[in-house]
Amino acid sequence: MNENIIFQIDGGIGKSIIATAVCEAIKKQYPTDNLIVISAYPEVFICNPHIYKCLSHNNLSYFYKDYIENKKVKTFLHNPYLETSHIQQECHLIKTWCEMFGVKYNNEQPKIYLSNREEIYYSNLLQQDKPILAIQTNGGANEQEIKYSWMRDMPNKMAQEIVDAFSTEYNIFHIRRENQFTLQNTISSTGDFRALAVLLKMSSKRLLIDSFAQHTAQALGLNSVVCWVGNNPNVFGYENNINIKANKETKTPELKNSLFTKYNIVGSLTEFPYENESEIFNAEDIINAIIKL
């Protein structure tokens, strides 16, 4: 009798994209069992051959009756962010996640599976007269009060400087939500996740931050330039990218409220470790990295 493996993923869409690598590792170890994923972002797992079924957190009616009662069950429900190896930044999150469940990690990477019809439909809508440069400058949850998080977002003035450097050569698509900052000389890309995945696949170059787009690009086998402020690319990033880390901090931060991470992902105002935003990155370094990509 096959077991039902129930894998619950909490958190944002980027975490669900990372979890596709964990799904592949689980299925390699338990090839005949049914992998049932619970996620707030089931669209990430569409067409994924490793998934028996993906359910939304908001649609779990009769879950016990359908998937647990009188069945052999294995549950993978814990949060890897609370594991020692993650808190101490010893290895990549995917490895921590797998080892937490006793699953062998074989360097599996995130994967997004697009259907041919999706690619044709969205690519026809996105056809351009110039190559595409896709950028994501801001991340975070929709309800996030502080719209700019210094902890992972790109400073707006610097982002505009970079856009201006490439605006004549590229059509620049700015991946953003409606309530996030806009940049001049860009085309706002606020579509659904599957459309954004096709956009990234069509792009010639990508400038991203530590947010869902960098994980999506990796899941599509695309190299990107990725800017890092508070998080560690060895834990959340990918070595095939050009990872640009923030400059050395110029101010001692106030860490009174820090718990299991040094900085709050929303960009706490009291934790800012610079005198001003211009000290975080050198725009010229990022421009040169995009040219090199």
Mean pLDDT, range 105-131, rounded to an integer: 93
The DSSP string of 100-121 is HTTPPP----------HHHHHH
Measured CA to CA, the distance from residue 287 to residue 291 in angstroms comes to 6
Instruction: Give the CB-side neighbour count of residue 290, counting CA atoms within 13 A.
Output: 24
Task: Give strand ranges (E) for 123-213.
Answer: 132-136, 171-175, 187-189, 205-209
- CA-nearest of 103, 89, 91, 96 to 31 is 103
Q: Residue 229: is its pLDDT beyond 80?
A: yes
- Which is it for the CA torsion 224, 230, 235, 236, positive or negative? negative
Which residues on neighbouring strands pair with residue 131, listed in sequence order?
Answer: none
Q: Residue 216: is its pLDDT beyond 90?
A: yes
DSSP summary character for residue 77:
-
Which residues on neighbouring strands pair with residue 226, listed in sequence order?
Answer: 208, 243
Beta-sheet strand order (sheet of 53-56): 53-56, 34-39, 4-8, 73-76
Domain ranges of the chain: 4-100, 116-292
Q: Residue 25: is its pLDDT beyond 90?
A: yes
Pick left, alpha or beta for residue 89 (phi over 0 → left; psi -120 to 50 → alpha; otherwise beta). left
Q: For the segment 273-287, what is each residue's pLDDT rounded down to a tens digit?
A: 999 999 999 999 999
Which residues on neighbouring strands pair with residue 136, listed in sequence order?
Answer: 175
Mean pLDDT, range 227-231, rounded to an integer: 97
Q: Residue 141: is its pLDDT beyond 80?
A: no
Beta-sheet strand order (sheet of 242-245): 187-189, 171-175, 132-136, 205-209, 225-228, 242-245
Mean pLDDT, range 118-136, rounded to an integer: 92
Mean pLDDT, range 196-224, rounded to an integer: 97
Question: How does residue 146 score in pLDDT terms, banded at 50, 70 and 90?
Answer: confident
DSSP summary character for residue 86:
H
Q: Residue 156: is its pLDDT beyond 90?
A: yes
Burial of 150-177, coded b for 16+ CB within 10 Å and e otherwise, reads bbbbbbeebbbebbebbbeebbbbbbbe
Cβ neighbours around 31 below 10 Å, total: 8
| Domain at 116-292: CATH architecture | 3-Layer(aba) Sandwich (3.40)
Which residues on neighbouring strands pair with residue 172, listed in sequence order?
Answer: 133
Q: Which residue has the higher pLDDT, 145 or 37?
A: 37
Helix 212-219, helix 193-202: angle, nearest 10: 60
Q: Residue 144: is its pLDDT beyond 90?
A: no
Identify the burial level of 112 via C-beta atoms within 10 angstroms of its C-beta, where 0-12 means exposed, 13-18 middle and 19 or more buried: buried
Q: Residue 202: is its pLDDT beyond 90?
A: yes
Kindly state the percentage of the chain with pLDDT values over 70: 100
